[in-house]
Amino acid sequence: MATDTRPLGEAERLDWLRLTRTDQVGPVTFRALLERFGTAAKALEALPELSRRGGRTRPIQPPSRAQAEREVKALAKRGGRFIAACEPDYPPLLAAIEDAPPILAVIGAVPILASPAVGIVGSRNASTNGRGLAEAWARELGSAGLTIVSGLARGIDAAAHQGSLVTGTVACMAGGLDQVYPPEHGELARQIARDGALISEVPLGVAPGARHFPRRNRLISGLSLAVLVIEANARSGALITARMAGEHGREVMAVPGSPLDPRSQGANRLIKDGAHLVEHPDDVIAVLRQLETGVRERVIPVYREDQTMPMVDEATLRQARVAVLEALSVTPTPVDDLIRHCQLSAPAVRTVVLELELAGRIERQAGDRIALIA
């Protein structure tokens, strides 16, 4: 559903930040809460009761307004700012994915986030030829008007950023924007912040952990029209980015390599599975020319009170709680299937799902699927 965008006032921005920093509130749950209550402020007020109804024994604790204010000031001190998913400056391609971050922290040139982009990813332990190829292709694609997006990692990522410093590059970070990883890329990060952009969805001070990298990878995919893989072993994180690109409806491309080099196994397998085989930057440009020229339709709605989910009476909710728990298991179930199975209204089932998620009893997975936590 396409909608207009709107800027947030400072008080509302703090409410968005507090809600997105609350335990158990992921991007999909954030959007469900705003669809249910209309504003982040009302959602924050409703969290304790919702989580209690879902079976949570300890009250859920959103960050205080003072904590949110400190985070905003700390980011501003570093020359950055927050952009909410409903605002005009939010990257339109990223806004079109199901689990787009409600709030992005950005340091650098914000307008670059709306420009046509290609993600370039690959092996951290890249060969000299692989790094040289990534840098040269990034430079040529940048000269053709494309922004290069990558993850600031060693190897292919760093080479892609280096090649596109002059034309424009975006680094998606797994930790806070003050937590450059690997540490030796500090100067590269400063150069990107000066001429391109650094983005993250996690707070300042948070070191990049294993669970943060898949979230970082979806930012790369979400910002890009296509993802290009240059060297990747069979278990490379670059393949996660490529998989997410396919899920997001983006093009996937790969440079073929020698079957004798383990660093080519992942890229070669992608080609076997249907990725575009590319041997020159012109091949990348040719694929992109076949795409629609318009930016994909935004799916993040402007949250207004007249768009909220209908209220559900308590008797119906009691019935829905029993039906939903009986229907769920540790095997992920699409929420739409759950609604059909329970033979109850969508607002009733989705309200119960919110309660259970905020109580920490279910986990939400890609494709609007949920599963009981064992």
**What is the pLDDT, as a whole number, of residue 216?**
97
Question: Residue 318, Cβ neighbours under 10 Å: how many?
Answer: 13
170 with 212, same domain? yes
Task: Take residue 371 and report the two structure tokens written for it.
Answer: 């599963």
Evaluate whether residue 328 is within a structural domain: yes
269 with 128, same domain? yes
Considering 238, 254, 289, which residue would you say is the last residue of a domain?
289
Pick from 71, 164, 134: nearest CA to 281? 134
285 with 329, same domain? no
Considering 254, 289, 324, which residue would you say is the last residue of a domain?
289
Percentage of the chain beyond pLDDT 90 is 89
338 with 243, same domain? no
**What is the pLDDT, as a whole number, of residue 295?**
44
CATH number of the domain to which 352 belongs: 1.10.10.10
**Strand-pair partners of 288:** none
Residue 323 CA to its chain's centroid (Å): 32
Distance CA 324, CA 348 (A): 10
Residue 171 has pLDDT above 50, yes or no: yes
**What is the pLDDT, as a whole number, of residue 4?**
61
Considering 255, 289, 323, which residue would you say is the last residue of a domain?
289
284 with 319, same domain? no
164 with 261, same domain? yes
Residue 361 has pLDDT above 50, yes or no: yes
- Structural domain boundaries enclosing 201: 108-289
Task: Take residue 56 and report the two structure tokens written for it.
Answer: 């949570």
**What is the pLDDT, as a whole number, of residue 309?**
76
- Using CB atoms within 10 A of its CB, is residue 324 exposed (0-12), middle (13-18) or buried (19+)? buried
Evaluate whether residue 202 is within a structural domain: yes
**What is the pLDDT, as a whole number, of residue 230?**
97
**What is the pLDDT, as a whole number, of residue 59?**
87
**Using one digit for the tens of pLDDT, what is the confidence trace for 185-243?**
999 999 999 999 999 999 999 999 999 999 999 999 999 999 999 999 999 999 999 99
126 with 201, same domain? yes
Distance CA 242, CA 169 (A): 19
Strand residues in the chain grouped as ranges (E)? 80-84, 103-108, 117-122, 147-150, 169-172, 197-200, 226-230, 251-255, 276-277, 333-334, 362-365, 369-372
111 upstream amide cis, omega within 30 of 0 = no
119 with 201, same domain? yes
Distance CA 180, CA 142 (A): 24
Distance CA 118, CA 255 (A): 14
| Dihedral (CA of 11, 202, 190, 133) sign | negative
Give 310's DSSP letter: P
Evaluate whether residue 58 is within a structural domain: no
Q: What is the mean pLDDT of the chain?
A: 93
Evaluate whether residue 93 is within a structural domain: no
Q: When comparing pLDDT for 4 and 14, which is higher?
A: 14
**Using one digit for the tens of pLDDT, what is the confidence trace for 51-110?**
999 999 998 999 999 999 999 999 999 999 999 999 999 999 999 999 999 999 999 999
243 with 328, same domain? no
342 with 284, same domain? no
For residues 284 and 118, is the Cβ–Cβ distance under 8 A? yes
Pick from 96, 32, 33, 24: nearest CA to 59? 24
CATH number of the domain to which 161 belongs: 3.40.50.450
274 phi-psi bin (left φ>0, alpha ψ -120 to 50, beta other): left
Distance CA 291, CA 295 (A): 10
Evaluate whether residue 363 is within a structural domain: yes
**What is the pLDDT, as a whole number, of residue 307?**
58
DSSP string, 14-80: HHHHHHHTSTT--HHHHHHHHHHHSSHHHHHHHHHHHHHHTT-SSPP-PPPHHHHHHHHHHHHHTTE
Task: Take residue 248 and report the two structure tokens written for it.
Answer: 């997001």
Evaluate whether residue 332 is within a structural domain: yes
112 with 230, same domain? yes
Give the side-chain half-sphere CA count within 13 A for 244. Answer: 27
The C-alpha angle 18, 24, 28, rounded to 5 degrees, equals: 85
Evaluate whether residue 276 is within a structural domain: yes
274 with 185, same domain? yes
- Rg of the chain, C-alpha, whole Å: 21
Residues listed for the chain: 374
The pTM of the whole model exceeds 0.75: yes
Evaluate whether residue 89 is within a structural domain: no
For residues 164 and 141, is the Cβ–Cβ distance under 8 A? yes
Domain total of the chain: 2
